[in-house]
Structure 1
Amino acid sequence: MHGIPSQSTASVILDEILQYRRRFSAADQDLSAENRLVRHTQLPRIEAFVAQNRPIEFVLPAFPAKSPNPNKVLGEVPDMAEKLSLTFLNEVCRTIQQHYAPGARLTICSDGHVFSDLIGVSDATINVYQDQIKALIRDENLQHLAVLNLGDIQEFSPLIGNYDALRDTLIKGYADPLDAIRDQLISDEDGTRLYRAITRFLFEDGLLPDYQGSKTALQRDARQRAYGVIQSSWAWGNLLARCFPDAIRLSIHPQPASSLKMGIHMLPTKDDWLTPWHGTAVEIDGSFVLMKKAEALEINAEPVWIDGAHSHYQVTTQPRAEVA
């Protein structure tokens, strides 16, 4: 009988996360069947924390840096999109604590330095972004969140500041060969989706206002870099699995229902792959949605400034009441 309360608590915790699960878009997918698969994989992992009365531990590789393309984002630093997303993640943990006294903690494993050489963002820009993410967490009192950087891991700490050496050490110690990754992506439907999504991000990020080359050449370059980004990202995941062997692994991308990783939406978005650092927050009649900056301008969204910085956009579709 002792196991029944723990199992019940674990199920409630998993249900809380499943509300926000990021899925692949497909009309033929059965949500109930998917959720059963997710429960089969994740429930025992959560039950292990509950059985030991430990805080549920989540890790989320995310928040690398803003896209370099000004048609997608407002600038290089966190804005309302990040603030809303971080607040949401903290709220999920806070809600879990209402069901389970030890609560939950979520470590954001910032992966900007992991692949900055491949995404066209400098390590200095990433440092500013990461520092402001930490400041947001502190200023908003998001007590359930922490940030982990590649250099924060003991094995890598002697290399802090030498970002090429950090990346090289990660690849040598934790990455699969590029040929093996290519074969895996090509042979797996979900892998192919991931490869196409990363290629699209890199292609879009490269379409800068001053880009003079051909789109064909940029597409070819994006395809090649996508393999490297995925290799680096998976190496980071392998390292995190070693550092957090019991943690529930969340992802910014849709994941197969049977995966150890669960995709999670942090903001409503029309695009299952869009993230806060590839888009901007747009408030429409009081509710926020994530979209690219160019899309916000197409619907005549108005910029909103907070403390002298462009924070987000706003659209009002409801007619205003006339003043008598």
Structure 2
Amino acid sequence: MPPLNKGTSTYHVIQGLYWRDSEGRLLAAEGSNSHTLYEMWPLLCAEIRSNKGLMDRVELPSGRHINTLRITAYIPALENIRLSFPPGRQHEELITRVAEIKGLDGLILGVLTSRPKSLAGDRFDTWAEHFILLETQFEPFAPLSLSSHPEHRKVSEQVAGLFEKKLKNASRDDQWKACGRPNFINRVYGYVQKSQPILLCLPAFPCKSPNPNKVGGTMPDLAEYIALDVLHDFVKDICKLYPPGATLWIISDGHVFSDCIGVDDSKVDAYDARLIEFYTEKHPAEEGTVSALQFKGLRDIFMSNSDSFDSFQKSWLTSAEVLHPVETARTDASELCRKLLLGVSQADRGFIRKCIEEQEPHALQLYRGQTRFMLEDLTMLPSVIRLSNKQKKKTAAMVAQEMISRNQAYSNLVELLLPNYVRLSIHAHDNAGPKFAVRLLPKSMVRPIESLEDRHEPISTCEFQIPTPWHNSIIKVEGDELMYLARAEVAKKAVEGPAFEGSWVDSPAGGFFGIKRQTMVLEEKASIVIATAPLPAMMAEFTATIRKDQLMVLVQGGMCP
């Protein structure tokens, strides 16, 4: 678990999710502490089976039911969960319980939790445990082994090879070959072994940056649409070699962060709607095949299942705190989802702050980098632009800390709900797994730049961390084969000078900056030098310097009578 990821949310108290059969055989386990489940299972299973009649039963609107049981037997391996708590909670007595629900195939899905005693009995926490049971996409997949079918192994390896060739982004300390590739293959194998569509997920496409110096508008443009095409083509390539196909879920994180960065919830909704509209228009669903890309966000996660959401009461979250460092217009539904997110899976804010203050290396690096980024991203917000420089820095620091907290919460939630999925990320990772870094804009098509004058030279800092479509704009330069990804101000400044002309282009295929070079640019004012000589004639020399593809041209006049 990352050093900042300590807390007492539902995520942090989960020992693991598991599947078992009616006879008590453990079939699969997932979660940050799931390795302990295999160790403790004989004792735990005996406790569950011997106290089956003592289980509490919760009826659901659908007619299904959840059974819960407090575990009172002493099981030493349960103590390992304490390392997930902040130091102040690590020595409390633990209250352990299981909650189970029967699947459609007769197998039983369970969640095992151990919570500090002072926090036990909270009604929201009980709801959250049931929410995880109802919403997790956890499947009882078998791991890849020496006895695995050769054809299943071969297909899984081919998918990994396709990912490496088409989508993977390298890191400075890349662990793909050492351990990432086997982990990737193992995730894919679970689906292949059961002839199910391979499922992948990518938290991305939140909303456009609020800074007009970075982007051309508030709606998706050519940068996003290129990225969608890249993802779509990758999935379709999987389908060519694996008939059951694949689906990549884009998990929008717009409402996770929008209130931190000064973007109204309504703008996130509009961005999402246009993104989906563009994709479905260009890639209509094909009968008999699974969709290459699917989309969901916070409201889909928390509000789409009546079994879980209808049993929730808002009063359970009256004391929940969602920080809003900058001004935004927030909708009730999105604000409720943010509270649910933080309640289910947030890391402890106080612990994060303590790590920063004590200059824990990972925390300090993340905090400083995020603060610098947010200072730039927020600078044009109406509620920020009027602040003093000192106040702007303080606001950026508050937003940075909240962004770190929410990013960890969202990552934790995705881990709980989509544990079998192949997890992709737009951020730089070492590719050891469980997350694998992707490059949304291929090198053969788009080059990140910092200025148009230097556009033919790659930027070394972008080799491992690629700028995102939602923080930048696409620039097309007439006559150039590549397109360029840059802040909007790069294009705006270029057309203000003498070398380029152009403007923003609205296109059905996505907006971009269309730029072309001026046909002739005088680097300096042409100068005329008149030279006299003791001859009856005069020699006039006219010089002009013309910049065209770095060629210097000299024009000279002849003898004048």
Q: How does 1:269-280 map to 2 (within 5 A)?
A: 269=448, 270=459, 271=462, 272-280=465-473
The one-letter amino acid of 1:87's match is D
Retained in 2: the 8 A contact 1:150–1:156?
Answer: no
The one-letter amino acid of 1:148's match is K
Secondary structure class of the residue paired with 2:511: strand
Aligned residue among 349, 372, 391 for 1:200: 372
Structure whose CA Rg is larger: 2
Residue equivalent to 1:259:
433
Which structure has more relative contact order (CA 8 Å, sep 6+)? It is: 1
**Which segments of 5 or more consecutive residues in structure 2 lack a partner in the other structure?**
1-146, 285-290, 315-330, 449-458, 520-561
Q: Answer yes or no: is 1:59 the counterpart of 2:180.
A: no
Q: Answer yes or no: is 1:287 the counterpart of 2:466.
A: no
Once the two structures are superposed, what CA deviation does each residue of 1:188-246 show, in whole Å capped at 9, x if it has no partner? 54x65544443333221112186233444323322221221122122222222222221
Change (3 A) 1:182 1:100: farther
| Alpha-carbon distance between aligned partners in 1 of 2:352 and 2:395, rounded to the nearest angstrom | 17
The one-letter amino acid of 1:36's match is A
Aligned residue among 165, 168, 181 for 1:21: 168
Once the two structures are superposed, what CA deviation does each residue of 1:223-274 show, in whole Å capped at 9, x if it has no partner? 2212211221222222222222210111111112323111211114353252
Aligned residue among 295, 298, 309 for 1:150: 298
| Alpha-carbon distance between aligned partners in 1 of 2:207 and 2:403, rounded to the nearest angstrom | 14
Q: How does 1:1-324 map to 2 (within 5 A)?
A: 3-19=149-165, 20-24=167-171, 26=172, 29=173, 34-141=176-283, 143-153=291-301, 154=305, 155=308, 161-182=332-353, 187=360, 189=362, 194-208=366-380, 211-267=385-441, 268=446, 269=448, 270=459, 271=462, 272-284=465-477, 285-300=480-495, 302-307=502-507, 311-315=511-515
Shift of 1:21: 2.5
Once the two structures are superposed, what CA deviation does each residue of 1:154-186 show, in whole Å capped at 9, x if it has no partner? 346888842222111210111111133456676
User: Higher mean Cα deviation, 146-155 or 177-186?
Assistant: 177-186
Change (3 A) 1:56 1:310: closer
| Alpha-carbon distance between aligned partners in 1 of 2:421 and 2:509, rounded to the nearest angstrom | 36
Change (3 A) 1:209 1:131: closer
| Alpha-carbon distance between aligned partners in 1 of 2:148 and 2:413, rounded to the nearest angstrom | 35
| Alpha-carbon distance between aligned partners in 2 of 1:23 and 1:129, rounded to the nearest angstrom | 29
Change (3 A) 1:2 1:317: farther
The one-letter amino acid of 1:15's match is G
Retained in 2: the 8 A contact 1:281–1:312?
Answer: yes
Change (3 A) 1:73 1:97: same
| Alpha-carbon distance between aligned partners in 1 of 2:403 and 2:262, rounded to the nearest angstrom | 11
| Alpha-carbon distance between aligned partners in 1 of 2:217 and 2:410, rounded to the nearest angstrom | 26
Change (3 A) 1:39 1:182: farther
Q: Considering only aligned residues, what root-mean-square deviation do their CA atoms show, in Å? A: 3.0
Retained in 2: the 8 A contact 1:304–1:310?
Answer: no
Secondary structure class of the residue paired with 2:213: coil
**Which segments of 5 or more consecutive residues in structure 1 lack a partner in the other structure?**
320-324
| Alpha-carbon distance between aligned partners in 2 of 1:56 and 1:309, rounded to the nearest angstrom | 29
| Alpha-carbon distance between aligned partners in 1 of 2:353 and 2:177, rounded to the nearest angstrom | 29
Retained in 2: the 8 A contact 1:197–1:273?
Answer: no
| Alpha-carbon distance between aligned partners in 2 of 1:116 and 1:37, rounded to the nearest angstrom | 35
| Alpha-carbon distance between aligned partners in 2 of 1:43 and 1:178, rounded to the nearest angstrom | 35
Shift of 1:103: 1.9
Secondary structure class of the residue paired with 1:289: strand
Shift of 1:34: 4.1
| Alpha-carbon distance between aligned partners in 2 of 1:192 and 1:316, rounded to the nearest angstrom | 43
Change (3 A) 1:99 1:166: same
Change (3 A) 1:318 1:251: farther
| Alpha-carbon distance between aligned partners in 2 of 1:39 and 1:286, rounded to the nearest angstrom | 33
Secondary structure class of the residue paired with 1:162: helix
Change (3 A) 1:200 1:264: farther
The one-letter amino acid of 1:277's match is W
| Alpha-carbon distance between aligned partners in 2 of 1:260 and 1:181, rounded to the nearest angstrom | 23
Change (3 A) 1:179 1:308: same
After TM superposition, the score normalised by the length of structure 1 is 0.85
After TM superposition, the score normalised by the length of structure 2 is 0.51
Secondary structure class of the residue paired with 1:78: coil
